[in-house]
């Protein structure tokens, strides 16, 4: 009985991504405040129930102050040209994080979720964003279709951070 319990526990832990066991690795470099302005296209993500049937997802940040911003997220149902579902909220850069950590409000401020920018391209053309618990990750790009070499390098970094299971939402043609 005890051996089967140990084997069950070991099997369940083996199914958990490495990043989820220790939480997300901390951000690797500072992020310019300009990160929180403009549109980002979602290139890859870990599967999550909140984005089921979500294609052509985008996140658009609009700076309000040096630390706060508005967020408009758009998800298209079932295809890159499907019906758009829009979600508007606000966010705040977390003090002392070199702009690499932020929180967003949900349900009218009843729930807050923290996010970390784990890594980014030097020119900030792409970024890897995750929840601190290591459960979810997103590869974001300033363009709907990434250059293949940049995409390969970014995905290699995502996998090096411990995220193996990814899905690739459709994006409109460039």
**pLDDT tens per residue, range 81-113:** 999 999 999 999 999 999 999 999 987 778 899
d(C-alpha 95, C-alpha 102), whole Å:
9
Give residue for tokens 């970024």.
Answer: 127
**Predicted TM-score of the model (pTM):** 0.84
Give residue for tokens 């985008």.
Answer: 58
Q: Which domains does the chain have, with CATH numbers?
A: 19-160 (2.40.128.20)
pLDDT band at 23 (very low <50, low <70, confident <90, very high): low
Q: Which residue, among 29, 28, 12, 30, has the nearest Cα to 20 in the 3D structure?
A: 12
């Amino acid at each position: 009985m005890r051996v089967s319990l140990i084997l069950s526990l070991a099997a369940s832990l083996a199914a958990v991504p490495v990043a989820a066991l220790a939480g997300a690795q901390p951000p690797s470099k500072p992020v310019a405040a300009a990160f929180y302005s403009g549109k980002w296209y979602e290139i890859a993500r870990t599967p999550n129930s909140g984005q089921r049937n979500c294609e052509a997802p985008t996140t658009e940040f609009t700076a309000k102050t040096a630390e706060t911003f508005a967020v408009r997220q758009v998800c298209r149902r079932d295809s890159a040209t499907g019906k758009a579902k829009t979600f508007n909220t606000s966010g705040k850069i977390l003090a002392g994080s070199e702009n690499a950590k932020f929180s967003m409000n949900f349900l009218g401020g009843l729930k807050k979720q923290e996010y970390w920018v784990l890594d980014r391209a030097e020119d900030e053309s792409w970024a890897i964003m995750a929840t601190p618990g290591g459960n979810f990750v997103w590869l974001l790009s300033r363009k709907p279709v990434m250059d293949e070499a940049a995409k390969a390098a970014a995905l290699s970094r995502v996998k090096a951070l411990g995220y193996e299971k990814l899905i690739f939402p459709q994006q409109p043609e460039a």
